[in-house]
């Protein structure tokens, strides 16, 4: 039991197919009702796909666990969690409930050496980061799933086995009322780092384990300190190690202590020992209560293939990273953002199954990028040799006065989307473009007017393909290719650019056209509206 939170209990209910003994074949079965599984269900349902979610528990996560959620994840929740007109979206409610921040401060010993801004430019709907305990986030996701008639959320359902057939998978499921069988055209495995489904399909999970131990201490206290990320290297109150401080809602603060390889986990978890460390970090006069304490180690590794037949892996079931940089949950949300639209098109028969192979191509590429970033952060924070520590300390010492040294300071590179630069779904540029919106890149938001009201570009992109057109309005409102449609969103008549921000971010000269995928990534761009070129790019973007 926490001081600030009481875990809910969700009711177990037997399904109709369990009662009847007649298995049903569902379009999609998601295994795991954590943040990634729930997000996958909401995204599929948003795209018109019925989903069953199986979870062997009946509550949300224990402890605060993940705490930092990045701008891109918030944009995904903003898209999939829209309700009635005028009602707050899921992303908006998360921002309201969480603690928004964008500044980070890095200290070396007792001196501030570096300050960074995660979102130095303005004109974005979502903040750079929010801090929100995972149990709050999951409870909001559960409520959204329960309110969606396309989602069947089944608690106390444990998958015992999985057998794959050419066109479906068969799952044996254990419940308090016994074992029954169900079927799925596609299974999305979101069952965590210790994934049973990964074992069932014989997937390999390889990478690097780290021996360092870290202590999480979530404490409740009143503290008049700005919502910023603070990271100390070798501080006077914890010599030779590192400390991280984050503010969470409900006056909960997370203090993360590096303990080293030889720390005794049981001794370090003792309340008085934890209080001693927290007092040293926050001051002898700090008044606080312990909320949650745990010791953790971590790994940087990923699955061999994100698709194994009819089973698609996402989140921690597919990859693990160190916690430095908030890349775990945020990367998992980007996994299902990539996957759901592809599943919807394949299930509708408007894209070949080969499109799902691009899920591995794109998300394995992103996972490798995250693993590299996470490993580099870990090596900088926990140097493994005297030479590495000497280099690290020299960088930190120079960073206070020398600008060239600051990019080398690595207290955890915070999560940002990896562009799918080499994706087989991209159509390469044939013309010169300025700016960052290259094929494979997630779209940047920008303020727009819609029917005279202030809005945001990402809100207008919808669930399908979009043609963002600048200059004269094209002669057609939609381009189709073999059942896949891309609707025109014209800058000027459909949306009005506010202050030229949209044109600036997209190098939107007259005649410029962007083909934007259903997951808000750029698929192609041109300096003129040519239907034949668009049709070819659409075919390529759906794996034909």
Express as a percent the part of the chain with pLDDT over 70: 99
The CA distance from 459 to 437, in Å, is: 18
pLDDT of 527 above 90: yes
Q: 138-151, pLDDT tens digit by residue? A: 999 999 999 999 99
Q: 88-139, pLDDT tens digit by residue? A: 999 999 999 999 999 999 999 999 998 999 988 899 999 999 999 999 999 9
What is the rounded average pLDDT for all residues in the chain?
Answer: 94
pLDDT for residue 1: 63
pLDDT of 85 above 70: no
Residue, of 153 and 208, whose pLDDT is higher: 153
Contact in structure between 356 and 312 (CB atoms under 8 Å):
yes
pLDDT-derived band at 370, boundaries 50, 70, 90? confident
Q: 506-516, pLDDT tens digit by residue? A: 999 999 999 99
Closest of 351, 362, 355 to residue 305, by C-alpha: 362
pLDDT for residue 207: 86
pLDDT-derived band at 223, boundaries 50, 70, 90? confident
pLDDT of 496 above 70: yes
pLDDT of 353 above 90: yes
pLDDT of 227 above 80: yes
Close Cβ partners of 102 (under 8 Å, ≥ 6 residues apart):
117, 118, 119, 127, 128, 129
Backbone angles phi, psi at 197, to 5 degrees: -65, -35
Closest of 191, 194, 198, 193 to residue 33, by C-alpha: 191
pLDDT for residue 62: 84
pLDDT of 86 above 80: no
| 244-275 as b/e: b if 16+ CB within 10 A | bbbbbeebbbbbbbbbeeebeeeebeeeeebb
Closest of 406, 321, 314 to residue 44, by C-alpha: 314
Maximum average pLDDT range among 19-23, 94-98, 408-412: 94-98
Task: List strand residue ranges (DSSP E) for 178-234, in order.
Answer: 178-189, 205-220, 229-233
Tokens of 225: 């300190």
pLDDT of 467 above 80: yes
Tokens of 64: 């605060």
| Local structure of 36: helix, strand or coil | helix
Judge if pTM exceeds 0.85: yes
């Amino acid at each position: 039991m926490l001081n600030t939170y009481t875990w809910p209990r969700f009711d177990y209910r037997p399904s109709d197919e369990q009662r009847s003994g007649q298995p049903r074949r569902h379009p999609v079965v998601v295994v795991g009702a954590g943040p990634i599984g729930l997000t996958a269900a909401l995204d599929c349902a948003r795209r018109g796909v019925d989903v069953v979610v199986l979870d062997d528990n009946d509550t949300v996560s224990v402890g605060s666990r993940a705490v930092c959620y990045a701008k891109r994840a918030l944009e995904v929740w903003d898209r999939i969690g829209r309700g009635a007109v005028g009602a707050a979206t899921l992303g908006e409610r998360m921002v309201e409930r969480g603690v928004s921040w964008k500044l980070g401060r890095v200290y070396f010993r007792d001196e501030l050496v570096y300050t960074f801004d995660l979102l130095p430019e303005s004109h974005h709907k979502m903040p750079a980061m929010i801090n929100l305990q995972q149990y709050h986030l999951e409870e909001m996701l559960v409520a959204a799933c329960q309110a969606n008639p396309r989602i069947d959320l089944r608690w106390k359902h444990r998958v015992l086995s999985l057998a794959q057939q050419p066109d479906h998978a068969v799952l044996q499921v254990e419940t308090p009322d016994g074992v029954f069988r169900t079927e799925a055209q596609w299974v999305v495995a979101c069952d965590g780092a210790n994934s049973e489904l990964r074992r069932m399909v014989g997937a390999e999970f390889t990478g690097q384990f780290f021996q360092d131990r870290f202590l999480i201490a979530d404490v409740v206290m009143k503290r008049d300190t700005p919502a910023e990320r603070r990271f100390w290297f070798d501080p006077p109150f914890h010599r030779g190690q590192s400390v991280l401080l984050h503010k969470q809602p409900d006056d909960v603060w997370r203090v993360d202590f590096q303990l080293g390889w030889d720390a005794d986990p049981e001794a370090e978890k003792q309340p008085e020992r934890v209080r001693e460390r927290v007092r040293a970090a926050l001051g002898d006069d700090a008044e606080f209560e312990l909320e949650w304490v745990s010791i953790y180690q971590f790994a940087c590794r990923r699955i061999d293939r994100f698709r194994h037949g009819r089973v698609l892996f996402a989140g921690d079931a597919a990859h693990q990273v160190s916690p430095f940089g908030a890349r775990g949950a945020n990367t998992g949300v980007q996994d299902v953002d990539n996957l759901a639209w592809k599943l919807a098109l394949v299930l509708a028969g408007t894209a070949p199954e080969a499109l799902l192979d691009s899920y591995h191509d794109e998300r394995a590429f992103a996972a490798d990028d995250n693993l590299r970033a996470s490993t580099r952060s870990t090596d900088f924070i926990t140097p493994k040799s005297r030479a590495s520590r000497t280099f690290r300390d020299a960088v930190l010492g120079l960073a206070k006065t020398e600008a060239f040294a600051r990019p080398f300071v690595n207290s955890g590179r915070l999560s940002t989307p990896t562009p799918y630069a080499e994706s087989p779904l991209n159509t390469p540029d044939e013309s010169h473009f300025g700016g960052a919106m290259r094929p494979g890149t997630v779209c940047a938001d920008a303020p727009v007017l819609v029917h005279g009201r202030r809005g945001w570009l990402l809100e207008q992109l919808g669930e399908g393909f979009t043609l963002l057109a600048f200059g004269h309005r094209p002669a057609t409102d939609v381009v189709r290719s073999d059942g896949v449609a891309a609707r025109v969103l014209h800058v000027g008549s459909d949306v009005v650019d506010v202050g030229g921000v949209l044109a600036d971010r997209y190098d939107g000269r007259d005649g410029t056209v962007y083909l934007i995928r259903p997951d808000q990534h750029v698929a192609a761009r041109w300096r003129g509206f040519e239907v034949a070129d668009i049709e070819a790019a659409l075919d390529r973007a759906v794996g034909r």
